[in-house]
Amino acid sequence: MRPVILLTIPALVAVALLAPVAPAQNSTPRPDPIPPMQDMVFIPSGEFLMGSTLQEVYRIADVDEFPQRKLWVDDFYIDIHEVTNAQYKVYVDSMKVKAPPKWVNGNYGIGEDGLPVTSITWEEAAAYAKFVGKRLPTEAEWEKAARGSDARWFPWGGTSFDRNYANNGDHLVNIMSYPEGVSPYGVYDMAGNAAEWVSGVYASYPRQPADKLPTDLPDRREVFKGDKHVYRGGSWNTFPKYLRCSNRESAAPGKRWTYVGFRCAADPAWKKTTSSP
């Protein structure tokens, strides 16, 4: 985590960004069975534990993950894997937008179809998601899809990192190369390979008076600026602590990193509300 200086932001902004979302009152009932969406996983509504405890902050977590709290997340779908070069090229060719800087003459390398697309800005990721009729996942949605409801550190469970379950090597690999590392919902590559942009602005989690950080904490400095967005999941070139489900990293929305890509989310049809007569 980068050395930072404490700044304040309006509490109402943090609460609005991160508070639980109540189910829509006039949404239609959830169908049974759940209709599939191609290459997406359905994540059912419910509560989960988001963030890290104070004990985990002392042990391994960063202070921006604190406090851990229970959040409600409504039904949603999330891509089963990160957006690939092949998928992104369809968008580049169709919309005549700028290709990632590592591509040559608008093309990625031979044999790189199945690699996650990287060096994508937050704005480009959001634009692609809109192009395919989806959106970027929220921080809460992403973390729930990665860790389920039992506050596990890693998608495969427990608190131990295992390189057989995630790409923490020296380069990108094809999507879905680590089937044993799937999340509780069956989502691939939520740890390692390419880190992933999410929709949220980098902001402090809401805290109660009892959540005050102890003065003896080795590094308790924080900074939150509205011009940064969050990316999650760690990547092939980061230490295991950054591959934990609760870890947060941030960058300006126009920034490119060779290890940051994204995946998309979508709302189910039954969540769409109807207008009153």
pLDDT tens for residues 212-252? 888 888 776 777 877 899 999 999 999 999 999 999 999 99
Asked if residue 28 has pLDDT above 90, the reply is no
**Average pLDDT, integer, range 160-169:** 95
Report which of residues 119 and 210 the model is more confident about: 119
Asked if residue 47 has pLDDT above 70, the reply is yes
Task: Say which range, 13-27, 51-65, 256-270, has the weakest mean pLDDT.
Answer: 13-27
pLDDT tens across 99-127, in order?
999 999 999 999 999 999 999 999 999 99
Query: Which fold is adopted by the domain 11-19+39-81+118-271?
Result: paralog of FGE (formylglycine-generating enzyme) (3.90.1580)
- Whole-prediction pTM value? 0.88
Asked if residue 155 has pLDDT above 80, the reply is yes
CA 154 to CA 165: how far, in whole Å?
10
